[in-house]
Structure 1
Amino acid sequence: MILIVDDSPENIISLQKVLEKNDFEVDTALSGEEALKKILKKSYVLIILDVQMPGMDGFEVAEAISGYSKAKETAIIFLSAATANVKLITRGYSSGGLDYISKPVDMNILLLKVKTFYRIYEQSRALNEMQQSLREEIEFRKEAERKKDEFISIASHELKTPMTSIKGYIQLLERSLDKDDKETIRKRLHKVQNQIEKLNILIADLLDISKIESGKLKFNKKYFSFNNLLEHIIEIMQQSNPHVKILKKGNFEAQIYGDEMRLEQVIINFITNAIKYGPDGEEIHITTEMRGDEIYFSVRDFGIGMSEEHQKKIFEKFYRIEETSERFQGLGIGLYICQEIIERHHGKIGANSVPSEGSEFYFQIPAHPKKEA
């Protein structure tokens, strides 16, 4: 938009007609004071500013504009009925003007200059947008590189931990074999098996993340009993974690349509996290219920909880809560994979938590979605 500032209505009308005829959007002001009020509220590409006005003259207006962060880059063309002497022209440029035209105005010259300023403005805006886009892209590459390096470091550490444990237990097993201590052998074999299972989960997560990135994470959807699946998972998790009481609330006897194995993966992740992050808690509450046409499932623990800031980021790839990363192992990809699985079931996933009071992770999926293509 162009702002014409002149104390003569006749001058404004003639300039406005020419500019609007050439498809420029025009605003007007009859004094410097009125112009400044408008400049505070609106953005202008160009200001055509009369020098000689009662009250604030054009130079004073230009100097005031240069102090506005919003308008200091706006181009200014000065108009003056006075003879264009060097002193006047110098003051015009020093007060922020980019060009100077004497009255009476040659409309053709003015129009050419306006078009030139507009072209420069458009090119400048395009260049700024390109630079901003490039800066954002560079920052995204830097962040991606940082996350990649961090992930490699974490993955190396997490994979090394069970491997070191397995190696140690095998050495202990060799000593127990020499003593023919069957009970100790049995216990240590069980510990080796636990470490192998941890290793298996880590490798499975790494494979899943790779498949998600390449768009090759496959789903095998069919009708199955959600309740039977849940009872089976709870039985296994309870046996593995006898110190925690897993309480189930609600029931869903009907069959649902989905990938049983993938949904099992999400449920196990929720329960495993609840046990991990609520180590001092004695109970975990599991809820299943119908909400309209959707099945709602949640796992609630009474452990360490997390802040609202962490809740917003917890499903991001590689995100780990800094305060707990040393205390609790993990790659920071389990919940990201869960989110992908639930979204592929046309559902939603989320978390509610209060620090020191525990967390509730939930998902909702359609029980009977429309047939997929």
Structure 2
Amino acid sequence: MNILDIQRLKDNKITLNLQTVLVNKLLTEAIDYVHIAAVNKNIRVILSPNENYEVSCDEELISRVVINLLSNAIQYSPENSEVFIHTGLVNGEIEISIRDNGVGMSENTLQRLMEQESVSDVQNRMSTGIGLQYCFLVLAAHRTNLNIVSAPGKGTTVSFSLVVKGISTTELIAASEAIKIKRTLTETEKETMKLFADRLRNCEVYEGSRILSILNEEIHGAPHWINDWKNEIRQAVFATNERVYNQLIEQLYE
């Protein structure tokens, strides 16, 4: 990727080579590409388990987008931390999100990024913004957007969506907005789950590694729907969705 690539995208001189691509293959290969950079900082890149959908995209261009976003996440994360990748159905499309536990960005810095200006992080490392500008342009060519959520000291989450291949929009929306069965608890289950929920209550949604460690524990005497509930908690964490995270926990106290 260089200035010429950026200019060609701006001038609409790049024709997309649309292919059917497996999402997990795309992400796994990107993780392999940044492996050395991650190892050098002892950073774990964690891909959340997911259904392996096929998407229609220019594999080379989207792969470079994912590699760029992962590289940024690793660069601006502290040593001995984690970078999380999550995929899920949102509004009938596959959303790919990458979340780090780095220094995060203020609203002003984020606004400057969105305006494609140069920025510097709190450690005075300079970035020309070319990498993110490339991502914006490639995703725009795919008729999608790059979304960025960040706050100082709370890390950054970047996400974008792609069209799923071979499944109608109606089917996807039905899958992503499936009606949730009302969850009921026996008195014994309430006591069991309350001990578990109390620990999650003490976590902020951006404390991904701490929350995932709790979720990975076995809960004896838990209700049959516990795994579905855990997956919804994970999705809220990957999306840094504090409202949904708190709602899911509070369900256990009703």
Q: CA deviation at 1:294?
A: 0.5
* Distance in 1, Cα, partners of 2:143 & 2:151: 28
The secondary structure found in structure 2 opposite 1:298 is strand
Q: Is 1:276–1:328's contact at 8 Å kept on the other side of the alignment?
A: no
1:303 equivalent in alignment to 2:102: yes
Q: CA deviation at 1:279?
A: 3.1
Structure 1: which 4+ aligned runs deviate by more than 6 Å? none
Deviations 1:143-199 (CA, angstroms, capped at 9, x unpaired): xxxxxxxxxxxxxxxxxxxxxxxxxxxxxxxxxxxxxxxxxxxxxxxxxxxxxxxxx
Q: CA deviation at 1:217?
A: 2.5
Q: 1:224 to 1:323 in 2, by over 3 A?
A: closer
* Distance in 1, Cα, partners of 2:45 & 2:120: 28
Report the TM-score when normalising by structure 1.
0.41
Match of residue 320 from structure 1: 118
Match of residue 216 from structure 1: 13
Amino acid at match of 2:144: G
Q: 1:347 to 1:368 in 2, by over 3 A?
A: farther
Structure 2 stretches lacking a partner, 5+ long: 168-254
Amino acid at match of 2:71: T
Q: CA deviation at 1:278?
A: 1.1
Q: CA deviation at 1:309?
A: 2.2
Alignment RMSD (CA, Å): 2.2
Q: 1:310 to 1:327 in 2, by over 3 A?
A: closer
Deviations 1:281-340 (CA, angstroms, capped at 9, x unpaired): 5111111112242111111111110012222331333x222455x732432111111111
The secondary structure found in structure 1 opposite 2:162 is strand
Q: Is 1:342–1:365's contact at 8 Å kept on the other side of the alignment?
A: no
1:227 equivalent in alignment to 2:21: no
Q: Paired residue for 1:261, among 50, 60, 75?
A: 60
Larger RCO, structures 1/2 (Cα 8 Å, 6+ apart): 2
Q: 1:369 to 1:213 in 2, by over 3 A?
A: farther
Q: Is 2:38–2:45's contact at 8 Å kept on the other side of the alignment?
A: no
Structure 1 stretches lacking a partner, 5+ long: 1-203
Deviations 1:190-209 (CA, angstroms, capped at 9, x unpaired): xxxxxxxxxxxxxx221211
The secondary structure found in structure 2 opposite 1:284 is strand
How many residues get paired? 165
Q: Paired residue for 2:156, among 359, 366, 372?
A: 359
Give the 5 Å matches for 1:1-373.
Answer: 204-242=1-39, 243-280=42-79, 282-317=81-116, 319-324=117-122, 327-368=124-165
Report the TM-score when normalising by structure 2.
0.59
Higher helix share: 1
Q: 1:369 to 1:320 in 2, by over 3 A?
A: farther
The secondary structure found in structure 2 opposite 1:219 is coil
Q: 1:313 to 1:327 in 2, by over 3 A?
A: closer
* Distance in 2, Cα, partners of 1:258 & 1:322: 32
Percent identity for Structure 1 against Structure 2 = 27
Deviations 1:233-280 (CA, angstroms, capped at 9, x unpaired): 112322442111111113241211010111111101110000111134
